[in-house]
Amino acid sequence: MILRLCLVACLACLAAFGQQKEQPPEGGPPRPFHLPPAQDFTLANGMQVTLVQYGIVPRVAVRAYVNAGGINEAAHQVWLSRLTGLLMKEGTKTRSSEQLAAEFADTGGSLEIEPGVEFTTVGGVALSDHAGQFIKLLADVLENPSLPASQAARLKADLARELAVAKTQPDDLARERFLNTMFPDSPYGRVFPAESDLKGYSAEDAAAFYRENFSAARTHLYVAGKLEGNLRETIRAAFEGWSKGAETASVSANPVKARSFAVIDRPDAPQSTLYIGLPVAGPNNPDYIPLDVMNTLLGGSFASRITSNIREQKGYTYSPRSQISTRTHLAYWVETADVTTSATGPSIKEILYEIERLRKEPPSEAELKGIQTYLAGLFVLRNTISPDAVIGQLHFVDSQGLSRSYLSEYVQKVMDVQPAAIQAVTEKYLLPDKMAFVIVGDKAKIAEQVKPYETATP
Amino acid sequence: MLLNAQMGGAEQFTVPVIYYTLPNGLRVVLSPDHTAPTVVTALYYRIGFRIEPKDRTGFAHLFEHMMFQGSRNLGKMEFIRLVQQNGGILNGSTRFDFTNYFEVLPANKLETALWAEADRMKGLAITDENLKNQQGVVGNEVKVAVLNQPYGGFPWLWIPQYANTNWYNSHNFYGELKDIEAARIEEVLKFFKTYYAPNNAALAIVGDFEPEEAKGFVEKYFGPIPKSELPPVPDLAEPRQEKEIKAERKDPLANRPALAFAYHMPPRNTPEYYAMGLLDQMLVQGDDSLLYEELVKKHGYAGSISGGINAELGDMFDYDGPMLWSASLIHDASVGADQIMSSADSVIDSLQSKPVEQKLLDRNRIKMRSYIYDSMTQYAGFGRANMLACFALFDNDPARINQLEAHFNSVTPETIERTAREYLRRTNRTVLVWEAGAKASAGGAQ
């Protein structure tokens, strides 16, 4: 005990009197960053294509973003897009599923189909010298899937198993309730199907979903990496015969901005999983970039206020974070954290404290400058960290209907945000009395702690 | 030459490697890549979670957290802020045979990163309060990853505990909560003094920099740090397994059973080791893999099968001691573990009884080549730094990165067959049956 006290005291001594602290070296002048040049073209059938020559490692990421997914499902068709995606891997009119898997493997890649809320991505990453072949195989999958009825029962059983497992995971439970609350009666709020619905889907339903939603006019193909040969010509030849199809119907989201509070009981849980948030302005709104900066300062980075508070000062949690999650022309802000059960109430208190603090006073210029420089550096990484990252950035601006200049102007716009604007967007958008609170945890142990937050404080 | 032609005659990507050792023993690897104005600084210490005090499970990992709590010139949170405010990201992790710390920063901030890493190699300035705080954080990490999750730590945390017999390989390396909570600050400082020295570390720099300038920074900041007397490495060896191990574990949070099986790996860098790399590709990597076809497509036992060498904690290139190849899946209660193992065995047996078809071998070489390039691309070149630092630490030869393809190319169908017979032996394996739903006893099935 004495030893320990002495040690701490000595270290403090050393720091205070023993020597001046060294300042970190500044480093050299910044090196210019230029976005990797993108080459865009559109096929006669309306399919959009973007090629990006990037990097020195001989691999190429190929991703078709098809504007089809959860938003195209009816209320009792949740995950039909997923069944369709699984069936699309089961072969084409001329290739069995085994042949397809083997031929993709021969390019050094594999076929990945990821149905999302608004977009299904179909693609993968191949070796540069086989990228042309990968693109031809991809075209076959998109244009001629066999969607074999013989495989539907197995794939539905896989989805049912996945659903059952998801229902035991605290994060999935919290996210489902949170999105249900914010987007009631909307595909944006439907995370999981009812098991009975899932059981009723057929290969016919999936074929209908494919016919209605997969077509050239709804597809944007991105190819990024070390490109070799005339891929433009390969793409034209592979995709020009695909039918044009109809545009996606727009879906209304109607996000709800209202105070709500839900506890999902998880007896004996050693942690409570928190989701606290609400809809905010989307990427097309001029407030979006100030919101992005504000979020990074408040909870969206390691050195942010909420993380410093509930992790580095209090030790309540390992992985707290806030984020702005976007859909087309929509966004919501949410703080998520898995906190020790006995610290559930105190964690909520500190999260709300940090929100209130930023609502009431602007950050110092120095704190804001640190966040702005971080975002400027992060921007370079987001555009270079891997070929898929390059694609992700381009798809973001394209799908939001933003101009590509959004990317070239982003850093300047971030740097231009003033401390007063941070306070202003916090005050305008992060309204504690309009937030949805979802807590998955041991109800008996947390009931008293969370009681003060059940209703909005006036 | 012939083999190269079979692989399509494609040009191999050669990674630039500049390698030298400072007089104090620090191994330095430089690999310039001017694709983007960013630079990765990765410092690897040759101390992983295998070797931690026996009454302090999880200590190596807790210690990793303490490296972010303050050094001579950077107080708590100041390291993190320094990197962030210069436009970079950082992290650290604890693995079987190393603990790493890395930053990805704008290229002009390389000197800043090297100064900061050298500062914490020189010494920690931490308090009881910092330790108590990180014990809370790490306790929460274990809860979020293991204790409050169905399939928590399945199979990566559990299967080494059943398959290995040597304590260094078979203890709970995430740590028992009581051990994590018992750690004291003098133990943290002793661990630092013992293992955190230049002669127990490798520094890899990958990205947009000039090698001569980088060498100057490395010399300036790391050169003066004294080397230390390293303790002898304990015996980590595992005996040859002669009898199949069957283990069961009940997961009170899971509602579907799961199954994992694992085999001890051949020694690193032998022909059999490279053959196991290709067998891993053949068996579980991708929709074309043999176990995927058998267990997922043909029998529908599961929607997917995952696995690999050093699975979930790394890959075949970033460990040094004894290792497992493992595979796992989540299935329905209507199918028994024996039935699944019997199907898996039909696939594995076929590899032991006849040479593999050349076409299948070639396909899996291409997959391996693509995997290696993928690793090199990951995270702005961090994946490349990871391989270079590991090859410097474990083999004193980071240029190995450019010889991997040749090693995989020289694996013959006969090597595959021989390797499958010796290493995919049933008596060399551990089968872990993960039971769903039942209430676990306090100590689990161990």
- Tally C-beta pairs within 8 A across A and B: 254
CATH of domain B17-222: 3.30.830.10
Whether residue A449 lies inside any domain: the answer is yes
Could you tell me the CA-to-CA distances from B21 to A159, A230, B167 in Å, in that order? 53, 45, 33
Structure tokens at B71: 């050094």
**Sheet (strand A260-265) strand order:** A260-265, A436-441, A271-280, A330-340, A321-327
Q: Do A104 and B287 touch (CB under 8 A)?
A: yes
For residues A326-331, average pLDDT: 93
pLDDT at B445: 31
Contact assessment for residue B440 and residue B251, using Cβ atoms and an 8 Å cutoff: yes
Alpha carbon of A125: minimum distance to chain B alpha carbons (Å): 9
Q: Distance between CA atoms of B15 and A99, rounded to whole angstroms?
A: 34
Query: Does residue A3 surpass a pLDDT of 60?
Result: no
Of B141, B330, B370, the CB nearest to A108: B370
Q: Both A281 and A420 in a single domain?
A: yes
Of B132, B254, B332, the CB nearest to A168: B254
Whether residue A278 lies inside any domain: the answer is yes
Q: Do A8 and B378 touch (CB under 8 A)?
A: no
Q: Please name the residue that has the structure tokens 């191949």.
A: A126
Whether residue A25 lies inside any domain: the answer is no
Output the CA torsion A323→A328→A330→A331 (10° steps).
Answer: 0
Q: Both A223 and A297 in a single domain?
A: no
Whole-number mean pLDDT of chain A? 93
For residues A85-97, average pLDDT: 98
Position A35 confidence tier, pLDDT thresholds 50, 70, 90: confident
pLDDT at A125: 96
Q: Distance between CA atoms of A403 and A383, rounded to whole angstroms?
A: 16
Whether residue A360 lies inside any domain: the answer is yes
Domain count, chain A: 2
Measured between beta carbons, the chain B residues lying within 8 angstroms of A127 are 10, 366, 369-370, 373
Of A372, A371, A361, A341, the C-alpha closest to A444 is A341
Contact assessment for residue A117 and residue A327, using Cβ atoms and an 8 Å cutoff: yes
Measured between beta carbons, the chain A residues lying within 8 angstroms of B80 are 302-303
Q: Does A369 touch chain B (CB under 8 A)?
A: yes
Q: At what angle do helices B413-423 and B358-395 cross, to 10 degrees?
A: 70
Q: Both A68 and A120 in a single domain?
A: yes
**CATH class of this structure's domain B245-436:** alpha beta
Q: Please name the residue that has the structure tokens 């370079």.
A: A380
Q: Where are the domains of chain B?
A: 17-222, 245-436
Output the CA torsion A289→A294→A300→A303 (10° steps).
Answer: 130
Task: Compare all CA atoms of chain A with the CA of B437 and give the residue at the minimum distance.
Answer: A168
Domain that holds residue A201: 38-239
Q: Do B13 and A56 touch (CB under 8 A)?
A: yes
User: How many residues does the structure list for chain A?
Assistant: 458
pLDDT average per 10 residues of sequence, chain B (446 residues): 39 91 98 94 97 93 95 94 95 96 96 98 94 94 94 96 97 94 95 96 97 98 97 96 97 96 98 98 98 98 98 97 98 97 97 96 97 89 96 98 97 98 98 78 31
Query: Does residue A458 surpass a pLDDT of 90?
Result: no
Contact assessment for residue B422 and residue B272, using Cβ atoms and an 8 Å cutoff: yes
What is the ipTM, given to two decimal places?
Answer: 0.93
Q: Do A165 and B256 touch (CB under 8 A)?
A: yes
Q: At what angle do helices B413-423 and B337-353 cross, to 10 degrees?
A: 140
Q: Which of B141, B284, B368, B373 to mutate to test the interface with A (most CBs of A within 10 A)?
A: B373
Contact assessment for residue A427 and residue A291, using Cβ atoms and an 8 Å cutoff: no
Structure tokens at B273: 């080791």
Q: Both A295 and A227 in a single domain?
A: no
Whether residue A158 lies inside any domain: the answer is yes
Q: Do A315 and B253 touch (CB under 8 A)?
A: no
pLDDT at B420: 98
Contact assessment for residue A94 and residue A140, using Cβ atoms and an 8 Å cutoff: yes
Query: Does residue A380 surpass a pLDDT of 50?
Result: yes
Question: Residue A130 burial (CB < 10 Å; 0-12/13-18/19+)?
Answer: buried
Q: Both A219 and A283 in a single domain?
A: no
Q: Does A79 touch chain B (CB under 8 A)?
A: no
Q: Do A377 and B105 touch (CB under 8 A)?
A: yes
Q: Do A169 and B149 touch (CB under 8 A)?
A: yes
Note the pLDDT tens digit of each residue in A431-452.
Answer: 999 999 999 999 999 999 999 9
* CATH number (domain holding residue A218): 3.30.830.10
Q: Does A26 touch chain B (CB under 8 A)?
A: yes
Q: Do B300 and A129 touch (CB under 8 A)?
A: no
Q: Both A137 and A270 in a single domain?
A: no
Q: Tell me, letter by letter, the H, E, C secondary structure of chain B.
A: CHHHHHCCCCCCCCCCCEEEECCCCCEEEEEECCCCCEEEEEEEECCCCCCCCCCCCCHHHHHHHHCCCCECCCCCCHHHHHHHHCCCEEEEEECCCCEEEEEEEEHHHHHHHHHHHHHHHHCECCCHHHHHHHHHHHHHHHHHHHHCCCCCCCCCCCHHHHHCCCHHHHCCCCCCHHHHHHCCHHHHHHHHHHHCCHHHEEEEEEECCCHHHHHHHHHHHHCCCCCCCCCCCCCCCCCCCCCCEEEEEEECCCCCCEEEEEEECCCCCCHHHHHHHHHHHHHHCCCCCHHHHHHHHHCCCCCCCEEEECCCCCCCCCCCCCCEEEEEEECCCCCCHHHHHHHHHHHHHHHHHCCCCHHHHHHHHHHHHHHHHHHHHHHHHHHHHHHHHHHHHHHCCHHHHHCHHHHHHCCCHHHHHHHHHHHCCHHHEEEEEEEECCCCCCCCCC
- Tell me, what DSSP letter sits at residue A17? I
Q: Both A231 and A287 in a single domain?
A: no
B17-222 and B245-436 share one fold: yes
Q: Both A48 and A168 in a single domain?
A: yes
Q: Which of A8, A13, A53, A318 to mutate to test the interface with B (most CBs of B within 10 A)?
A: A318
Note the pLDDT tens digit of each residue in A296-306.
Answer: 999 999 999 99
Residues 30-49 of A with CB under 8 A from B: 30-33
Whether residue A16 lies inside any domain: the answer is no
Could you tell me the CA-to-CA distances from B112 to A25, A26, B208 in Å, in that order? 5, 6, 15
Measured between beta carbons, the chain A residues lying within 8 angstroms of B7 are none
Collapsing DSSP states into helix, strand and coil, what is residue A165?
helix
Measured between beta carbons, the chain A residues lying within 8 angstroms of B208 are 31
Q: Both A76 and A178 in a single domain?
A: yes
Of B243, B202, B124, B234, the C-alpha closest to B388 is B202
Q: Distance between CA atoms of B205 and B203, rounded to whole angstroms?
A: 7
Note the pLDDT tens digit of each residue in A92-119.
Answer: 999 999 999 999 999 999 999 999 999 9
Whether residue A9 lies inside any domain: the answer is no
Whether residue A282 lies inside any domain: the answer is yes
Residue at a domain's end among A207, A239, A271: A239
Q: Do B89 and A378 touch (CB under 8 A)?
A: yes
Of A284, A264, A277, the C-alpha closest to A324 is A277
Q: Please name the residue that has the structure tokens 């964690």.
A: A347
For residues A273-302, average pLDDT: 97
